[in-house]
């Protein structure tokens, strides 16, 4: 366990906004976690859990303690006819874990390659990409309550996963610290290749023959499309794709025939937030060191390492213009603190 005073948070989140934590502790195992939480609860000190910082934007210094997840370890726990239960510690790097599973011969996580961050944060917003969501592969989550220190295993249904959403994003859910995530994986899982952008690529270059080839294809697409936070600070997609009713979609489609959308099973439509933002003229916008990525309007960038307040202000301007033009509210995806 390692303590740091007045810790620099700019280097610990991918948007790179200047901020500091009064104290930061890096925990290496569940005993560290129990010890830190029992000290914090007995002194009523506020705590915030940080993974890789790829889905959080700091607008201010944080009082209290930031708990930096440094626990590591991956193991195969049990097997049955539908696969193996593979457990990974929350502090494991997500992309490295994906490749570990692929190298063991498992199929299932390849579409989620190259998503930044840690294993422990992956269930928080039910990470998803190229037609697969975390919930499609998750078995359970082990977590500890930050106030009562109760330890609990959450089953797939306990997690209440939705689009970029889970129980852990709710008010009661935020009090649980995830220390281990278990996946149900098998070598027999069919590849998911139907997502439009993937399909376009493999129809040109030939279908990938196995899960590792899919991961490499996903990596190539992502590297082309998304900025590397080390070179250009960003938090990935800054807004969720909004979901509108069938009626609202028909009205929009009449007025904007080239609007990009995806039909959902219940008849509603998911709109491409990037298209809405681009249609409002924001793509490539840059002012005072904060802007919108020229290749993908859904990504806000912070090349000037400006404050989280400046990023938030730009996000509000984008939300207001999209709402005014299309009558569609955009919901921010990363946590803004
Ligand atoms: C370039 C880029 C591309 C991205 N692409 C995608 C994508 O394709 N799909 C997608 O879904 N997301 C994407 N993201 C968002 C992000 O990578 C994911 O949300 C990721 O899971 C965040 O992990 P993290 O460890 O960085 O979490 P952090 O940013 O550190 O934390 C995010 C939230 O989770 C909480 N948290 C973190 N760890 C724990 C824990 N162990 N227990 C309890 N709470 C915890 C934090 O308190 C915070 O509320 C992208 C981001 C970037 C920068």
Considering 69, 85, 102, which residue would you say is the last residue of a domain?
A: 69
Residues in the chain where the model's pLDDT stays below 70? none
Return the closest-CA partner of residue 33 out of 116, 150, 181: 150
pTM, to two decimals: 0.95
Considering 151, 185, 219, which residue would you say is the last residue of a domain?
A: 185
Same domain, residue pair 89 and 140: yes
Number of the ligand 1 atom closest to the C-alpha atom of 14: 53
Count other Cβ atoms within 10 Å, centred on residue 222.
Answer: 16
Pick from 51, 134, 232, 237 the residue to mutate for probing ligand 1's pocket: most ligand atoms within 8 Å of its CB.
Answer: 51
Same domain, residue pair 248 and 157: no
Residue 223 to residue 192: CA distance in whole angstroms: 20
Is residue 210 in a domain? no
- The residue from 237, 261, 307, 310 that is catalytic is 237
Tens of pLDDT along 170-183?
999 999 999 999 99
Same domain, residue pair 83 and 10: no
The pLDDT assigned to 209 comes to 81
Return the closest-CA partner of residue 51 out of 140, 163, 181, 147: 181
Pick from 7, 15, 27, 55 the residue to mutate for probing ligand 1's pocket: most ligand atoms within 8 Å of its CB.
Answer: 55
Helix (H) or strand (E) holding 33: helix 30-43
Helix (H) or strand (E) holding 270: strand 269-271
- The residue from 142, 164, 184, 269 that is catalytic is 164
Atom 20 of ligand 1: nearest residue by CA position: 117
The pLDDT assigned to 5 comes to 97
Residue 95 to residue 198: CA distance in whole angstroms: 19
The answer to whether the CB of 54 is under 6 A from ligand 1 is: yes
The pLDDT assigned to 197 comes to 87
Q: How many domains does the chain have?
A: 3
The pLDDT assigned to 201 comes to 86
The pLDDT assigned to 77 comes to 86
| Interval between CA 81 and ligand 1 midpoint (Å) | 32
| Interval between CA 296 and ligand 1 midpoint (Å) | 19
Is residue 54 in a domain? yes
Q: Which position has the token pair 């937030």? A: 273
Same domain, residue pair 160 and 79: yes
Q: Which domain holds residue 47?
A: 2-69
170 counts as catalytic: no
- 161 contacts 118 by C-beta, under 8 angstroms: no
Is residue 215 in a domain? no
Is residue 103 in a domain? yes
> Residue 139 belongs to a domain with what CATH number?
3.30.465.10
Same domain, residue pair 87 and 179: yes
| Interval between CA 115 and ligand 1 midpoint (Å) | 8
Considering 185, 220, 244, which residue would you say is the last residue of a domain?
A: 185
The answer to whether the CB of 56 is under 6 A from ligand 1 is: yes
Same domain, residue pair 18 and 60: yes
Q: Exposure pattern of 146-156 as b/e (b: 16+ CB <10 Å)? A: beeeeeeebeb
| Interval between CA 308 and ligand 1 midpoint (Å) | 17
Same domain, residue pair 26 and 99: no
Same domain, residue pair 47 and 99: no
Across the chain, how many H-helices and E-strands are there? 7, 20
> In sequence order, what are the residues at sequence separation of 6 or more whose Cβ sits closer than 8 angstroms to the Cβ of residue 304?
288, 289, 290
């Amino acid at each position: 366990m390692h303590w740091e005073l007045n810790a620099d948070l700019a280097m610990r989140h991918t948007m790179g906004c200047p901020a500091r934590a009064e104290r930061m502790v890096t925990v290496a195992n569940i005993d560290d976690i129990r010890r830190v939480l029992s000290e914090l609860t007995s002194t009523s000190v506020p705590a915030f859990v940080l993974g890789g910082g790829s889905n959080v934007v700091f607008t201010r210094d944080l009082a209290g303690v930031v708990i930096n997840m440094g626990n590591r370890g991956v193991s195969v726990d049990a097997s049955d006819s539908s696969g193996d239960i593979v457990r990974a510690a929350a502090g494991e790097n997500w992309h490295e874990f994906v490749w570990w599973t692929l190298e063991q011969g498992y199929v299932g996580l390849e579409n989620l390659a190259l998503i930044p961050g840690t294993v422990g944060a992956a269930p928080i917003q039910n990470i998803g990409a190229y037609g697969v969501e975390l919930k499609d592969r998750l078995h359970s989550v082990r977590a500890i309550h930050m106030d009562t220190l109760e330890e609990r295993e959450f089953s797939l249904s306990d997690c209440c996963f939705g689009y970029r959403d889970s129980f852990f994003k709710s008010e009661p859910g935020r009090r649980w610290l995830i220390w281990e995530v278990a996946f149900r994986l098998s070598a027999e899982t069919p590849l998911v290749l139907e997502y439009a952008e993937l399909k376009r690529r493999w129809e040109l270059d030939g279908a990938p023959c196995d899960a590792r080839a899919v991961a490499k294809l996903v990596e190539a697409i992502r590297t082309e499309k998304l900025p590397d936070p080390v070179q250009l600070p960003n938090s990935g997609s800054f807004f969720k794709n909004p979901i509108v009713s069938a009626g609202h979609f028909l009205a929009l489609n009449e007025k904007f025939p080239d609007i990009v959308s995806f039909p959902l099973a219940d008849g509603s439509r998911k709109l491409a937030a990037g298209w809405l933002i681009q249609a409002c003229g924001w793509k490539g916008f840059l002012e005072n060191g904060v802007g919108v990525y020229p290749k993908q309007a859904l990504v806000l960038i912070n090349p000037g390492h400006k404050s989280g307040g400046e990023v938030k202000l730009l996000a509000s301007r984008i939300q207001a213009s999209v709402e005014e033009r299309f009558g569609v509210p955009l919901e921010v995806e990363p946590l803004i603190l």
